[in-house]
A and B are shown apart, each in its own frame.
Chain A
């Protein structure tokens, strides 16, 4: 134990600094949560973060065996496999940071995993609720999440690769795939991209995804995220790869396609007809969200011919007191709805509900009576807002809601021409999008009719024999039952 090779910044220059107590202590200077227990008579020093270790395990695994015996017995005990000898100071520091206890005995340093953090218990997902099917959701702890997946897929082929992202945060990122089902191209591509990230901090899956997606300027999410272990498990079985970020309750899967965001795992937990119906409903909802308000603006501004006779007077009457052109009226109302949604999301659930009622009923009613908007528009805006929440994936529904504003604007300027141009632009944009290099529009373009029965509807299970073509799995068949 010499003081000579202690450097103020040991991590920088020399890679192989021999671990020493002084060095480690100086590294953790002013970290009052670091606990240092010293037993000079035994030549043992213990270093660990008090709030990161499980105290039961600490006593059981380290304190009891080491402190009960004599100095001579210690080297033998330290030979046990849970004591890992460390030769690099950097490794030691990272070990302590990730909740291990460091033991200094004479010249040697050891690490013992006694990690134990009180984390949130496994509970239901707030953002992705289902009626039937498993209710557990991922937590913020990657270990728990991994175990949730392992519980569901008991296969040695389920491989987990650990990566670390964040120069300061040192966040663990796990990439999961099932060997012989996942295409290794995707696995390698994902790992490569994650390794390529050089940032200081990483706090959430969606943050990670923005560093590794194919088109960072796109409004569309290019990785599917989910908080539900069953959904993520099914993605693994489908031959996709899955990523888990420590500290984030959502896992991601890739490659993904636009249409995948409209399926929910409980489609499979109901009879196939019901599943199909709700899937089709979601696609109808997509059309409603995108086009309803825009159509209202376009029709009331330019294309009065399109209104059927019976609606004409009702519509004109409701519009007659509104002082603004339809475009401003619609933007005003849409913004109000978005404000309500945002306020509801920020506030505690109870208050959020109140806000919803106040906003929905009171403001809507008052706005009509004050002559600020027409009541038909209220219905239109409300319908498209509700339709937007039908999309199971929140990230996608947010993207679509944003796009809707663009379409409303275009419809207000150019009527149906603007609307068509907007839709064209969206399709053109999507046609260039890829997810891990595979087309974002599969199975529509490139056309894979075989996949349609598992994308637009849920066919009876005996027909769902193959994995989606997008995952380009080396092992295509997933259901060997005879038809």
Chain B
């Protein structure tokens, strides 16, 4: 029985894909690239992401919910398509892999300075493998549980109300820094991930309200980001935010409960839930594409992708290198998330015209 996704599942799936490692650095990036009251910059980015999602929505509507891979294969010859498929699955597999690597490297920095990070990475990959071989419906079920296990942490922001000062926000908007295109896209990558919903077409039906759900997920992301960054900007002065590597960890570390201190040690572990989902969904998308080229068993294919990505992840071995790689891959992903729907729309329109011509 192929169960279809429900709107809520899609929404939180999108939220969990989007909120990944970028979140740890978001306030710093906003302060660096936007300066004072940088948290406001999330709003236009959210709108931009929503516009892009609407573009995907157009594909969904034009194609009547048919899998995009089917659409592509119907009108483009395989030998042109396959290299393109290969690039896509590589980009996604690499992103998924580097995200988990990045997470591991930060964990290593915080608590395990000398342990080989690849051990942790392999442990994460085992978990990723476990989840990605399940059906998307089961992935979404796991996502829901992880979502609740993460969401309560928003309540922790109450701890910062005492040291939050409105006057520290300053009345200036986007001052004290110069915005570069690079910087903009770096911050925008916090929203990246919605493009994966292109692959959810075959797993959704009318009841899923796919596009509305994706938009809702995007909205959850935006609200969480805005709230969190708003607190961060009122808690730290923006000049200080610029100097912090991972403001989220600093914020978490500030929480001291009577029975536990240095809570970031524990709470950072909780972020594994969102990292796992992000990584799994990228890998899953890579697998969905690869399945078209190599019709072998699901599990074998997943294993091959994971091992290949793991091998690749040995190359960048410090955080800054991973960051560099991730930002390049981020561009590739942004290009895909804009280019793919646009290309598909053109394709669908041509097909439709041709179909109309044939009918006459």
Contacts and interface: CB of A to CB of B under 8 A. Distances in A.
Is there a contact between chains A and B in the complex with CB atoms less than 8 Å apart?
Answer: yes
Contacts of A353: none
Contacts of A425: 127, 130
A427 B142 contact: yes
Contacts of A14: none
For chain A, which range describes its interface: under 10, 10 to 19, 20 to 34, or 35 or more residues?
20 to 34
A437 interface: yes
A331 B157 CA distance: 36
B131 interface: yes
Contacts of B259: 308, 311
Contacts of A421: 123-124, 127, 272
Contacts of A427: 142, 145-146, 149, 273
A303 B261 contact: no
A56 B146 CA distance: 64
Given A417-B269, A445-B145, A428 B127 contact: yes
A424 interface: yes
B6 A446 contact: yes
Nearest to A425: B127
Interface stretch (B52-60, B132-140, B195-203, B305-313): B132-140
A302 interface: yes
A5 B262 CA distance: 86
A432 B134 contact: yes
A447 B8 contact: yes
A471 to B, nearest CB: 17
A372 interface: no
Contacts of B111: 302-303, 415-417
B268 interface: yes
Contacts of B142: 427-428, 430-431, 445
B144 A446 contact: yes
Given A305-B261, A420-B269, A428-B127, A445 B140 contact: yes
A416 B266 CA distance: 6
Contacts of A414: 112, 120, 123
Nearest to A291: B266
Interface string B245-275: 0000000000011111111011011101100
Max chain B C-beta neighbours (<10 A), residue from A305, A425, A439? A305
A308 B261 CA distance: 6
A241 interface: no
A131 interface: no
Interface in A406-463: 414-417, 419-421, 423-425, 427-432, 437, 439, 441, 444-447
A437 B2 CA distance: 12
B1 interface: yes
Interface residues of B, number: 41
Max chain A C-beta neighbours (<10 A), residue from B112, B139, B142, B145? B145
A67 interface: no
A28 B343 CA distance: 81
Given A305-B262, A417-B112, A447 B269 contact: no
A260 to B, nearest CB: 16
A439 B262 CA distance: 37
Contacts of B265: 303, 305-306, 416
Nearest to A307: B261
Max chain B C-beta neighbours (<10 A), residue from A302, A431, A439? A431
A423 B140 CA distance: 17
A447 B8 CA distance: 8
A441 B263 CA distance: 29
A295 B269 CA distance: 12
Interface string B271-297: 011001000000000000000000000
Contact of A417 (B107, B140, B258, B273): B107
Given A306-B262, A308-B261, A415-B111, A420 B141 contact: no
Nearest to B120: A417
A420 B270 contact: yes
B9 interface: yes
A343 to B, nearest CB: 33
B171 to A, nearest CB: 38
A431 B112 contact: no
Interface string A365-393: 00000000000000000000000000000
B148 interface: yes
A295 B111 CA distance: 15
Contacts of B127: 421, 424-425, 428
Given A303-B111, A414-B112, 4 more contacts: A424-B127, A427-B142, A441-B144, A445-B145
**Closest CB pairs A-B (n = 8):** A420-B269, A445-B144, A431-B142, A305-B262, A445-B141, A431-B141, A420-B272, A416-B269
6 contacts: A416-B268, A421-B127, A424-B127, A427-B142, A429-B130, A431-B131
